[in-house]
């Protein structure tokens, strides 16, 4: 993986030489191994590299002269079907100087133009500049695993893997307006597709590509999930799921550097680890697996509807079953609270509080052992594992199922801001538009139609928050994390799969369990879903409460410009477990989110135009 950035100005100079080194330094965590740049009159491309495939020869920016037309690419990602595309290009007498997928992406674009993205199986964000036509082509992977932000600034098009790189360009300022406040307080830590909390910075949406040229900016949606008749029997569906899941995992085990897997003891990471372990053993190797736990969680853990049991014993069962080289990292409250700030630095926005912070710490430790790791994100969204898929009452409620708290959230706003914003209208418009966009066959039952809506909502909203989190927290330490369940073939196939199949034996992800049953011991295979682990230590609530009190009592705190101080003090005193976002963000995480928001306003020197 890598960091990319650039600036194109067709009508004037694209000279940003004064800030190239700053941008590279900003993106150095994403690409600690090498850096490079390309400059011409109308374009500057910037790259930092994390070397994973063809370590010696995959340097970027990479250029190629095709009959006098010079194309230059900066690329962040991995293709998992590199060889198939290379073989197809070789049939047209194309030759290759490297083993890197960067060269394959570049030559695929030269051969097929913007249609090249339809051939790619992978996670990527890239830009290709042609100086002769003065055209920049850019693309982002179908699911949205790799980020690509942009700003139409200074008469041109600026882009980058991370927001902080854009803010290093002198003509892009950190500005937030009332819409930004809506995003932070009513949607956050999620984001409306294509938006950020900076009103002058946007994001290329998943499955989109486009051009910037003399005609300005043009974008195309080249992929989205579409409903179609599902004609396979349950047995055939299981067979297809088994093939797709195992094929995706095996494809993503290709690496020229050390590789391992996350292992939580839950279904998804255990399946990935099991397939990977068998793959490694066939080659005479032992898989490295990694887990995170929290100091004194064995003392303070409390069962809940969403978290019925602790992970530790299941991790041990799975590590023994795999005979893996296993490492567990333990995190304590002082580390978690301290890392809240680094997590904002990594995401460039307030995030999922200690859920982000713990992952950042976890990835930092994993990077000491491997450069690439596989993780189980997105199986719940695609296979229907969350409680809001399964509980008929929650499922039928109007609104985003992970955030049924619009009025509660808006209560934290300063009164004059609250009056400017119609909170319910803002959120409802986003929800209604997504429901309308969800592809549904007319012949479906009401239940099946609702399940299509639920999958669509989860893929393009909730899942994006988790993918943001995974990318930024891992790349902060130069760790490449791959997500096999995000293979677009799995998403396409499962979108139209009947709910009665997914709900096999009324188990969460019952279809996935049945399809992969010989890969896991029964204790893991039929274990009730448990989400990403978080601390249950009361010392964490005490610590973040103390920090927020200091912030609220400091008249210079930036957060006082937007929040209702009394409501925040009430949050500290009330014993109200109102979820802020999903299953994991309750009162301690809401407090921590406000801490992150204050830090973000101060650290990024955000100019508020309210």
Q: Which residues are annotated as catalytic?
A: 2
- Other C-beta atoms lying within 10 Å of the C-beta of residue 106: 24
503 by DSSP, 3-state: which?
A: coil
- Residue for token pair 């191994």: 33
**Torsion (CA) 571, 573, 578, 583 in degrees, nearest 10:** 90
Q: CA-to-CA distance for 121 and 142, rounded, in angstroms?
A: 9
Q: CA-to-CA distance for 136 and 44, rounded, in angstroms?
A: 11
Q: CA-to-CA distance for 543 and 439, rounded, in angstroms?
A: 46
Q: Any idea what the Cα angle at residue 102 is, between residues 96 and 105, rounded to 5°? A: 85
Distance linking the first and last C-alpha atoms of the chain:
38
Q: CA-to-CA distance for 426 and 422, rounded, in angstroms?
A: 6
Which residues are bridge partners to 347 per DSSP? none
Burial of 431 (0-12, 13-18, 19+ CB in 10 A): middle
CA 503 to chain centre: 26
For residue 84, what are its two tokens? 């198939």
Instruction: Classify strands 288-294 and 259-262 as parallel, antiparallel or unpaired.
Output: parallel
Measured CA to CA in angstroms, residue 40 lies from 24, 134, 219, 259, 269 at distances of 18, 10, 24, 38, 46
124 by DSSP, 3-state: which?
A: strand
Instruction: Classify strands 69-79 and 122-130 as parallel, antiparallel or unpaired.
Output: antiparallel
Quickly count helices (H) and strands (E) in the chain. 26, 19
Strands (E), 358-511: 372-374, 480-482
Burial 180-204 (b: 16+ CB within 10 A, else e): bbbbbbbbbbbbbbebbbbbbbbbb
Q: CA-to-CA distance for 440 and 239, rounded, in angstroms?
A: 25
Q: What is the 3-state secondary structure (H, E, C) of 514-532?
A: HHCHHHCCHHHHCCCCCCC
> Which strands sit side by side in the sheet containing 372-374, from one edge to the other?
325-331, 288-294, 259-262, 372-374, 480-482
Strands (E), 85-234: 122-130, 135-140, 149-153, 156-160, 175-177, 202-203, 208-213, 216-221
Contact between 311 and 529 under an 8 Å Cβ cutoff? The reply is: no
DSSP conformation letters of 360-400: HHHHHHHTTT-SEEE--TTHHHHHT-SHHHH-HHHHHSSS-
């Amino acid at each position: 993986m890598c960091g990319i950035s650039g600036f194109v100005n067709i009508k004037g100079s694209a000279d940003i030489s004064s800030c190239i080194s700053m941008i590279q330094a900003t993106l150095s965590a994403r690409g600690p191994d090498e850096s490079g740049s390309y400059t011409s009159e109308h374009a500057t491309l910037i790259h930092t590299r994390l070397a994973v495939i063809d370590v010696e020869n995959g340097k970027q920016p990479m250029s190629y002269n095709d009959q006098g037309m010079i194309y230059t690419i900066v690329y962040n990602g991995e293709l998992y079907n590199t060889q198939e595309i290379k073989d197809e290009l070789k049939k047209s007498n194309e030759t290759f100087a490297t083993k890197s997928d960067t060269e394959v992406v570049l030559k695929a674009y030269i051969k097929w133009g913007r249609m090249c993205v339809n051939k790619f199986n992978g996670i990527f964000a890239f830009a290709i500049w042609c100086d002769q036509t003065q055209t920049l082509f850019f693309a982002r992977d179908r699911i949205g695993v790799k980020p690509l932000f942009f700003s139409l600034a200074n008469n041109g098009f600026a882009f980058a893997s991370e927001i902080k790189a854009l803010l290093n360009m002198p003509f892009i300022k950190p500005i937030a307006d009332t819409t930004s406040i809506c995003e932070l307080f009513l949607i956050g830590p999620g984001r409306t597709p294509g938006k950020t909390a900076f009103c002058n910075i946007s994001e290329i949406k998943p499955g989109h590509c486009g051009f910037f040229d003399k005609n300005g900016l043009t974008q195309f949606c080249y992929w989205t999930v579409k409903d179609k008749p599902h004609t396979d029997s349950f047995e055939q569906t299981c067979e297809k799921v088994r093939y797709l899941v195992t094929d995706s995992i095996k494809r993503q085990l290709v690496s020229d550097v050390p590789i391992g897997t996350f292992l939580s003891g839950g279904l998804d990471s255990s399946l990935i680890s099991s397939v990977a372990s068998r793959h490694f053993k066939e080659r005479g190797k032992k898989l490295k697996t990694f887990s995170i736990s929290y100091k004194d969680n064995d003392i303070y853990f409390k069962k809940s509807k969403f978290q019925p049991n602790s992970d530790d014993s299941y991790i041990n069962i799975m590590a023994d079953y795999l005979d893996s080289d296993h490492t567990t990292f333990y995190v304590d409250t002082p580390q978690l609270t301290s890392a809240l700030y680094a997590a904002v630095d990594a995401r460039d926005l307030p995030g999922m509080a200690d859920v982000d912070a713990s992952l950042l710490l976890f990835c930092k430790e994993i990077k000491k052992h491997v450069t690439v790791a596989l993780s189980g994100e997105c199986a719940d969204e695609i296979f229907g594992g969350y409680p809001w898929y399964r509980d008929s009452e929650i499922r039928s409620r109007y609104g985003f199922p992970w955030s049924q708290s619009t009025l509660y959230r808006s209560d934290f706003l300063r009164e004059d801001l609250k009056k400017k914003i119609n909170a319910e209208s803002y959120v409802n418009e986003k929800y209604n538009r997504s429901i309308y966009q969800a592809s549904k066959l007319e012949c479906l039952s009401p239940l099946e139609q609702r399940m299509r809506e639920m999958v669509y909502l989860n893929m393009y909203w909730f899942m994006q928050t988790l993918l943001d989190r995974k990318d930024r927290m891992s790349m902060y330490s130069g760790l490449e994390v791959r997500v096999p369940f995000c293979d677009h073939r799995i998403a396409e196939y499962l979108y139209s799969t009947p709910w009665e199949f997914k709900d096999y034996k009324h188990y969460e992800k019952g279809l996935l369990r049945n399809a992969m049953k010989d890969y896991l011991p029964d204790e893991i295979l039929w274990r009730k879903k448990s989400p990403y682990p978080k601390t249950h230590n009361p010392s964490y609530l005490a610590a973040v409460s103390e920090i927020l009190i200091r912030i609220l009592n400091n008249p210079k705190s930036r957060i006082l410009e937007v929040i209702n101080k009394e409501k925040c003090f009430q949050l500290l005193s009330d014993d109200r477990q109102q979820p802020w976002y999903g299953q994991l963000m309750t009162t301690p995480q809401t407090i921590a989110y406000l801490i992150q928001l204050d830090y973000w306003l101060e650290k990024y020197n955000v100019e508020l135009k309210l």
